[in-house]
Amino acid sequence: MKIVVLDGYTANPGDLSWDKLKELGECVIYDRTAPHEVTARASEAEAILTNKVVITRDMMGALPALKYIGVMATGYNVIDMDAACERGIIVTNIPAYSTPSVGQTVFAHILNITQRVQYHSEQVQLGRWTNSVDFTFRDTPLIELLGKKIGIVGLGQIGYNVARAALGFGMKVWAYTSKSRLQLPPEIKKMELDPLFRECDIITLHCPLTESTRELVNARRLALMKPTAILINTGRGGLINEQELADALNNQRIYAAGLDVLCEEPPRNGSPLIGARNCFITPHIAWATTEARQRLLQIMVENLKGYINNKIVNNVTPTAKS
């Protein structure tokens, strides 16, 4: 079986091993693949693996040997699923591999905003502590998390992970979720979306990007938030109207935002959030710890083994849901 990895670099820039994948067949690994290169590179492949390279209906039509697409991520919107179903192509994804790492990044942003660790470290390097008349130096508010209310939008595995960490800090946890109150542990309170935005000190987004959640954070909801509130997004950039969030930050309508995702990645055309007041942006790295990427590669191999052995796991093709 010929296996082609179209964009392997982000998952494995060289610090991990492809050996287990290579044991499954003739394997060709590309760091990156442009759209016009897909059909030539995958022309004889029975299995292709992609992270962000889009696989369209036309591409599938030009790849008669293709039987399996392994998405090296949880989201699989890069695949034309209707076309895959019509052609009998199995599509798998990799769920939950980055749950601990994403939760860790949520609190990295929260702690950076509340304790201003990066800022004060930079001030030390600039000599401001050295020149301080006191034993301590600070010139921004420092915020304690104990007793603060955190609102979690979407209570899947990552949302639960964040909730557990928040409880460890002594926070009060509220969630907007499709789960019933009876399904929630007593320390997590269910709340509707608008009251969540109105009452919580921190809002963190962990819902999928769909037509119903696109720009869920907009001027109307931002107007509900406390002026001391913090917004965190490690989900998808499209959950937020970027201009309206930038306006809310610049006008001090909310206190701060910590973001790991933007609508355009990388933001080659710019973003109103770059340079916005108290907006802290990381370049989509929440998923990318060494441990999470190792899990990704392990699950990727197990998914492909399942296909080879006719014991398919993590199947996201429409027939798997019928």
Catalytic positions, written as ranges: 236, 265, 284
Pair 219, 244: CB distance under 8 Å = yes
Between CA 70 and CA 48 the distance in angstroms is 6
Between CA 254 and CA 197 the distance in angstroms is 11
DSSP characters over 177-200: -SS-GGGS-TTEEE--HHHHHHH-
Residue 247: closest CA among 269, 225, 214: 225
Q: How far is CA 153 from the centre of its chain?
A: 14
Pair 116, 142: CB distance under 8 Å = yes
Which pair of structure tokens corresponds to residue 119?
């800022």
| Residues in Cβ contact with 160 at an 8 Å cutoff, skipping those fewer than 6 apart | none
DSSP characters over 237-286: GGGB-HHHHHHHHHTTSSSEEEES--SSSS-TT--TTTT-TTEEE--S-T
